[in-house]
Amino acid sequence: MLDDFNFRIIFEYMPLFLTGLRNTFFISIVSIMLALMTGTIACACRISSIKLLRYPAIAYIEIIRSTPLLVQIYFLYFGLPTLGVRVPEIQTGIIALMLNSGAYIAEIIRAGITSVDDGQIEAGVSSGLNYFQRMRFIILPQALGATVPPLLGQSIVLVKDSALLSLISVMELTRCGQTMTSERFMPSEAFLTVAFFYMCIYFCLKSLADWSQKKLIFREAY
């Protein structure tokens, strides 16, 4: 099989792939940052006792989690212009990824917060600490520790999900593979290269996740 493999063509298309890699990287980083912000705000609203904040947050989280990302992307891509909002593809893609991951991140953070034992919160209450002090000194330090590994997991998912943006012609990695395939008809070479670059990103994020987990376990034991 490898006899038929044309490695030369891969190098010929390397500049295109590197552009794709750069775009995937850029889209992922920006989306993760925005999704973290969205998720934190959505989570704060979700656990709020004010119904006017809580119910919209529940609606947002449930709608996103119950529909496919591709549908969400198409909805924004085709839907927004009919509403009179014209956004370039790459921004549309970032918004879609941000909204999608934001909902999952909101639930991850919420799980972290609820994982902190109620008894500790009562201990804080009974020694006179107010809500913000309990959040700052008791809940968040433990919740954040518990959420770092799943958040990095969600980041890995987001990087791979960004491949769907190729369907709205954003020039990211997968789109580069499609471009090369349609120009030269060499899908094996094209998508092997694409897969290789995704794996590179994946292993970077995974080693970050492993490292942070080790650090957390170490801190809990000691």
CA dist., res. 103 & res. 124, Å (int): 30
Q: Which is nearer to another protein, 133 or 182 (CB)?
A: 133
Q: How many residues are given for the chain?
A: 222
Q: Which is nearer to another protein, 67 or 130 (CB)?
A: 130
Please state the closest distance from residue 51 (CB atom) to another protein, in A.
Answer: 21
CA dist., res. 142 & res. 114, Å (int): 10
Please state the closest distance from residue 48 (CB atom) to another protein, in A.
Answer: 21
Please state the closest distance from residue 147 (CB atom) to another protein, in A.
Answer: 14
Q: Are 201 and 22 in contact (CB under 8 A)?
A: no
Burial of 46 (0-12, 13-18, 19+ CB in 10 A): buried
Of the candidates 14, 12, 5, the one whose C-alpha atom is nearest the C-alpha of residue 186 is 5
Q: Which is nearer to another protein, 49 or 127 (CB)?
A: 127
Q: Which is nearer to another protein, 68 or 141 (CB)?
A: 141
Please state the closest distance from residue 178 (CB atom) to another protein, in A.
Answer: 48
Q: Which is nearer to another protein, 2 or 221 (CB)?
A: 221
CA dist., res. 153 & res. 147, Å (int): 10
Q: Which is nearer to another protein, 37 or 217 (CB)?
A: 217
Please state the closest distance from residue 52 (CB atom) to another protein, in A.
Answer: 23
Q: Are 82 and 157 in contact (CB under 8 A)?
A: no
- As given in the structure block, the two tokens for residue 187 are 């899908």
Q: Are 152 and 209 in contact (CB under 8 A)?
A: yes
Q: CA angle, corner 74, sides to 71 and 78, nearest 5?
A: 145
Please state the closest distance from residue 216 (CB atom) to another protein, in A.
Answer: 10
- As given in the structure block, the two tokens for residue 166 are 């190729």
Residue numbers at the binding site for another protein (CB under 8 A): 117, 119-120, 122-123, 125-130, 133, 137-138, 141-142, 145, 219-222
